[in-house]
Every structure is written in structure tokens, then in C-alpha cells.
Amino acid sequence: MSDLLPRRLAAAALAAALGGALLVQPSTAAAAEARPTAASAPFRYEVSFPKYTYRGGNLTYTVKVRNKRVKGQHYVALVGDFSTHFRTVRVISKPRSVKCSVKRRSVLCLISSLDKGDATTIKLRGWVGSRRGTAVARFGAAVTDNPNVSAKRLAKEIRSHLSAKSKVL
């Protein structure tokens, strides 16, 4: 239980499949969810992360992507950009169907197996430096049903991002 106290759960919803609006609500409870303005958002992603860390420590981000009700196989590009407070970033856990690449402080993942009702979880870890302040990670996602899409081309279609802010003490 004490492990859950310093953690905060932030959730966001992807309102439309390609470049939809994203609504973020501050979480007051441990399992709060942000609801999209359109009540029928077919794809969602949730990001959970710790509220704070100490200098030289690390922050682990858990990103869960869900296909609520769209039939057929879909491809999701998940992008994460980490602020200069991070020294390095790595993908520490992902399914075999997810291809990820990390370049400096940016992460690009292509999720290739989201059928109706499926969910995929990716864990990212960032090591913070020796400065105090606020470490920020920004996440965004775009969806397509084209099997020949490249992750970089799909990532350019992302219109809105979710910011995950953690204090560095």
C-alpha cells in the first residue's frame, strides 16, 4: 500500500482515431480516468507515473493502449518525448508485437496488434539527473488500419499530447 501512495495515475482519452482532441482531467483518486468529450472514443491510452523522485533516481511510466470497439486489426504509433531533466530513457517492458526505438530522450513505438477489445501495456523508465525541478514526459498517439504504414509517418499525424509532470526533489 505504501508503494501506491507516492504514485499518481493520470489518464487521457483519444477522442478520434486520427488526430482527435485529447481531454486531460487532474486525478483526485488513485484510479481516476479522463473522459473524452465525444462519449464514443474507440481508442484510449492511459499513463501512470510517480508523483516525485529524488535527484539521480528514476521514473517509471506505464502506458496502456486500448481498442474499445473498432473491429479489425489496427496500428498505433505511440510517441514519448522526455524533458532535459532525464539523462537516459529505456523501454523496460513490452509485448513481442510492439516495435520500439529510443533515440536520445525520445521514444517511438508501433503497436501492430490491436483488435477489438485488446489492450497493450508498455513500460518506460527514465533516469533523472542531479537538478531539482519538474521532469516532464509528453505522450501522444495516432491510429490507422493501414498495414504498410511507417511509425515515423504515423507519428507526424499526432495532434495532441498528454503531459506527465513529476517533481525532482
Three cell numbers written together for 34: 479522463
Tell me, yes or no, if the pTM score tops 0.85.
no
- Measured distance CA(68)–CA(75) in Å, rounded: 14
Q: What is the per-residue pLDDT for 82?
A: 95
| DSSP structure string for 49-118 | EESEE-TT-EEEEEEEEEE-S--S-EEEEEEEEE-TTEEEEEEEE--TTEEEEEETTEEEEEEEEE-TT-
Chain segment 68-114, per-residue pLDDT in tens = 888 888 889 999 999 999 999 999 999 998 999 999 999 999 998 88
- Tens of pLDDT, residue by residue over 44-69, are 889 999 999 999 999 999 999 998 88
pLDDT in tens, 104-155: 999 999 998 888 889 999 999 999 999 999 999 999 998 888 888 888 888 8
Residue with cell 508485437: 97
